[in-house]
Amino acid sequence: MRQIKIVVPVATAAWNELILEDMGRYKAADTELAIVNIEKGPESIECTYDVAWAELFTVQECEKAEAEGCDGVIIYCFGDPGLRAAKEKLNIPIVGINEPAVHFASMLGNRFSIMAVGPDTVNRAMLADNVLLYGLESRCASIRFLSMPVLEIERQKDKQARRLFEEATVAVEEDGADTIVLGCGSMFGVEKKVRNELNVPVVVPGPVALRTCEALIDLGLAQSKRFFAAPPSKKRVM
């Protein structure tokens, strides 16, 4: 039995049930999932500033998961807030949903495009920084934006699917993408039309993160402590 804790790095429980339901479809039979959002921080993550607000609370939830005996943790946001800090502090495997998704996409084609939710002007730096950090900038054809607030996409599902298809079409036809990555963990069940009509694989980041986390647990692997060394002990006040 593997115990995996999903940490949703936003200060709202609005997504927990949807995420758990979606991940439940992809988990192995002997995986037990628990989900928690952070108690303080931003209500959604759409920019680098939001990431800063979410990070500390996210890492603390991750620490709690390890202390409770979980085998792995997933930070469920495409901005991967707190991921590097948590990799330092924890010994159990931590995965973000962005990092595995872009690696998977790189195995499927030559160039992927990321379909982000928030507006271009706000969202771009956060996502471009992550692609750079993971060393896959050369494989990224473009980052495109639905230009909808994250908190509205579930309420306006038709518009979400339509905007996704529009932007994915431009990514494929003009930017040269052969693979599409959904750039937000909260885009549920909207990828079919892109897959079928544009003839490209669509990587949905949540399930990929879940299966990567399961694989790491099975293989007895986790982040390298030579690179993500444990932080020194000291007083840290909040």
**Across-strand partners of 6?**
35, 74
How many residues touch other proteins under the rule CB under 8 A: the total is 44
The region, left, alpha or beta by phi > 0 then psi within -120 to 50, assigned to residue 137 is: alpha
What CA–CA distances, in Å, run from 92 to 74, 223, 224?
11, 8, 10
Site string for other proteins, 62-81 (x = CB under 8 A): --------------------
Cα dihedral: 201, 124, 167, 83 (round 10) = 30
Query: Is 201 a residue that touches other proteins (CB under 8 A)?
Result: yes
Please, which residue, 47 or 172, has the CB nearer to other proteins?
Answer: 172
Among 39, 40, 225, 230, interactor with other proteins by CB under 8 A: 225
Among 18, 21, 24, 28, interactor with other proteins by CB under 8 A: 28
Among 95, 97, 114, 190, interactor with other proteins by CB under 8 A: 95
The widest CA-to-CA distance across the chain, in whole angstroms, is 56
Residues 6+ apart with CB under 8 A from 79: 9, 45, 50, 51, 54, 98, 126, 127, 130
Among 1, 67, 69, 199, interactor with other proteins by CB under 8 A: 199
Site string for other proteins, 162-191 (x = CB under 8 A): ----------x-----xx------------
Query: Is 44 a residue that touches other proteins (CB under 8 A)?
Result: no
Q: Are 9 and 75 in contact (CB under 8 A)?
A: yes
What DSSP element (H or E) covers 216? helix 205-219
Please choose, out of 55-63, 68-76, 161-169, 215-223, the segment that lies near other proteins by the rule CB under 8 A: 215-223
Work out the burial of residue 132: count CB atoms within 10 Å of its CB; fewer than 13 is exposed, 13-18 middle, 19 or more buried. Answer: exposed
Site string for other proteins, 103-132 (x = CB under 8 A): xx-xxxxxx---------------------
Among 1, 67, 69, 224, interactor with other proteins by CB under 8 A: 224
Residues of this chain that interact with other proteins (CB under 8 A) are 26, 28-29, 95, 99-100, 103-104, 106-111, 134-136, 138-139, 172, 178-179, 199-204, 207-208, 211-212, 215, 218-228
